[in-house]
């Protein structure tokens, strides 16, 4: 549904995109991630026809975004970071207006609006002015305008930005439902949304793609982190002997109970295995090792490892 080949975008001497390439298949829900200034919004604006690329090419549903821009726009539903709403209009009037300018046939407009209203759970507010709505409902109206013409591709830029936790959950559930019927590209800073909603993740940093794969694929490439050990034995002696066995490795007591103590040993990601040495230490002292495991990395760990420091560099550029 989407093909991007060596896409570039320059703003004067600044290179926002440095020749990125990726493809999105029909029915995929893509999490498009990156720190501020990485090139996410620029990519989305090129795909939706708001910006011209400086080099490379991109197509949506087989149509070139430059040469066949109108055909591309007919097949895209776009929710930019700042939701485009006419606050003085009623919700139903606004959606009728959008359906008309989107080219929905007159005899199908009411059914198209009814579908969008149902999907976005707007039944209670269709007769209200948009100005009267909470930010969560305004965001739903923004999503409704993006799907009213039933486009095959949805591009959503920070759809939950500025919402409270309850509103975020509601919009996240809506995105999951939309993903069952549309190809979706979702840009967000909330990694929980990506883990719950997206079938694949693309991470952009400084105008380049630095990772592309499923959540499990990206996490599996990240070295394992610290050790978590649950030991039945005297805490003071355990801490002392851990200090001798692993000098320079911080040890934190996570939990104490009458039965055992849980320790976190920060051995560093990718360090040499020390599980056997640690087990020998416990057995030698006649203590009991009740649990021993490496901490598994998260998508946040992957993101930080690939992008750490970029936002500071952008701020000082």
Residue 262: inside a domain: yes
Residues 106 and 207 in one domain: yes
What is the radius of gyration, based on Cα positions, of the chain?
A: 25
Inform me whether the pLDDT recorded for 262 exceeds 50.
Answer: yes
Token pair belonging to 42: 């620029």
- How far is it, in rounded angstroms, from Cα 213 to Cα 175? 20
Inform me whether the pLDDT recorded for 122 exceeds 80.
Answer: yes
Backbone angles phi, psi at 47, to 5 degrees: -65, -30
- How far is it, in rounded angstroms, from Cα 150 to Cα 243? 62
Across the chain, how many H-helices and E-strands are there?
12, 14
* Lowest-pLDDT choice from 4-13, 116-125, 304-313: 304-313
309 band by pLDDT with thresholds 50, 70 and 90: low
For residue 240, what is the domain's CATH number? 3.30.70
For residue 122, what is the domain's CATH number? 3.40.50.300
Query: Alpha carbon of 158 to those of 191, 194, 305: distances in Å?
Result: 12, 12, 22
Percent of the chain having pLDDT more than 90? 60
Residues 109 and 233 in one domain: no
Please say whether the beta carbons of 278 and 292 come within 8 A: yes
Give residue 271's pLDDT.
52
This prediction's pTM: 0.78
Residues 189 and 282 in one domain: no
pLDDT tens digit sequence for 129-186: 999 998 889 988 999 999 999 999 999 998 887 777 887 888 788 888 888 888 999 9
How far does the chain reach from its first CA to its final CA, in angstroms?
Answer: 36
Give residue 316's pLDDT.
35
Residues 215 and 262 in one domain: no
Work out the number of other CB atoms within 10 angstroms of the CB of residue 9. Answer: 23
Residues 294-308, mean pLDDT to the nearest whole number: 84
**Total residue length of the chain:** 317
Token pair belonging to 93: 């009037």
Give residue 260's pLDDT.
94
Percent of the chain having pLDDT more than 70? 95
Backbone angles phi, psi at 297, to 5 degrees: -70, 160
Give residue 212's pLDDT.
95
Residues spanned by the domain of 278: 227-294
- How far is it, in rounded angstroms, from Cα 229 to Cα 250? 13
Residues 91 and 197 in one domain: yes
268 band by pLDDT with thresholds 50, 70 and 90: low
Query: Alpha carbon of 216 to those of 212, 271, 293: distances in Å?
Result: 11, 21, 19
SS3 state at 12: coil
Give residue 312's pLDDT.
45
Total domain count, the chain? 2
Question: For all residues of the chain together, what is the average pLDDT?
Answer: 89
Residues 154 and 268 in one domain: no
Please say whether the beta carbons of 60 and 75 come within 8 A: yes
96 band by pLDDT with thresholds 50, 70 and 90: very high
pLDDT tens digit sequence for 277-289: 899 999 999 999 9
Higher pLDDT among residues 192 and 311, named by residue: 192
Closest CA to 1 of 40, 41, 88, 59: 59
Inform me whether the pLDDT recorded for 61 exceeds 70.
Answer: yes
Last residue of a domain, one of 171, 193, 220: 220
Residues 11 and 113 in one domain: yes
Q: What is the largest CA-CA distance in the chain?
A: 82
- How far is it, in rounded angstroms, from Cα 41 to Cα 56? 17
Residues 251-272, mean pLDDT to the nearest whole number: 82
Residues 138 and 270 in one domain: no
191 band by pLDDT with thresholds 50, 70 and 90: confident
Residues 19 and 96 in one domain: yes
Please say whether the beta carbons of 1 and 65 come within 8 A: no
Give residue 235's pLDDT.
93
Residues 205-230, mean pLDDT to the nearest whole number: 87
Residues 117 and 260 in one domain: no
Q: Which residue has the tokens 């305004």?
A: 138
Residues 57 and 119 in one domain: yes
Give residue 315's pLDDT.
39
Residues 163 and 247 in one domain: no
Residue 315: inside a domain: no
Residue 313: inside a domain: no
């Amino acid at each position: 549904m989407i093909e991007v080949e060596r896409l570039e975008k320059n703003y004067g001497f600044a290179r926002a995109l440095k020749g990125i390439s990726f493809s999105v298949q029909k029915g995929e829900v893509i999490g498009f991630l990156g720190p501020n200034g990485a090139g996410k919004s620029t990519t989305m604006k090129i795909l939706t026809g708001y910006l011209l690329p400086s080099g490379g090419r991109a197509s949506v549903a087989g149509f070139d975004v430059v040469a066949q821009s109108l055909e591309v726009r007919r097949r895209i539903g776009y929710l930019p970071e700042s939701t485009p709403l006419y606050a003085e209009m009623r919700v139903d009037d606004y959606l009728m207006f959008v359906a008309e300018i989107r080219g929905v046939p007159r005899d199908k407009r009411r059914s198209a609006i009814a579908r969008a209203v149902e999907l976005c759970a707007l039944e209670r507010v269709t007769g209200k002015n948009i100005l009267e709505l909470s930010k969560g409902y305004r965001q739903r109206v923004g999503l409704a305008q993006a799907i009213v013409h039933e486009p095959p591709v949805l591009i959503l830029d920070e759809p939950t930005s500025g919402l409270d936790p309850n509103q975020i959950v509601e919009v996240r559930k809506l995105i999951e439902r939309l993903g069952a019927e549309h190809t979706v590209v979702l840009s967000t800073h909330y990694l929980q949304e990506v883990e719950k909603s997206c079938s694949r993740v693309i991470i952009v940093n400084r105008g380049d793609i630095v990772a592309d794969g499923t959540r499990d694929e990206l996490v599996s490439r990240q070295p394992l982190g610290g050790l978590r050990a649950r030991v039945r034995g005297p805490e003071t002696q355990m801490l002392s002997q851990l200090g001798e066995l692993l000098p320079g490795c911080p040890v934190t007591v996570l939990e104490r109970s009458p039965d055992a103590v849980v320790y976190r040993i920060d051995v560093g990601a990718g360090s040499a295995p020390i599980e056997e040495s640690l087990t020998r230490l416990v057995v030698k002292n006649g203590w009991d090792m009740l649990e021993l495991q490496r901490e598994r990395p998260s998508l946040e760990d992957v993101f930080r490892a690939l992008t750490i420091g970029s936002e500071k560099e952008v701020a000082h550029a």
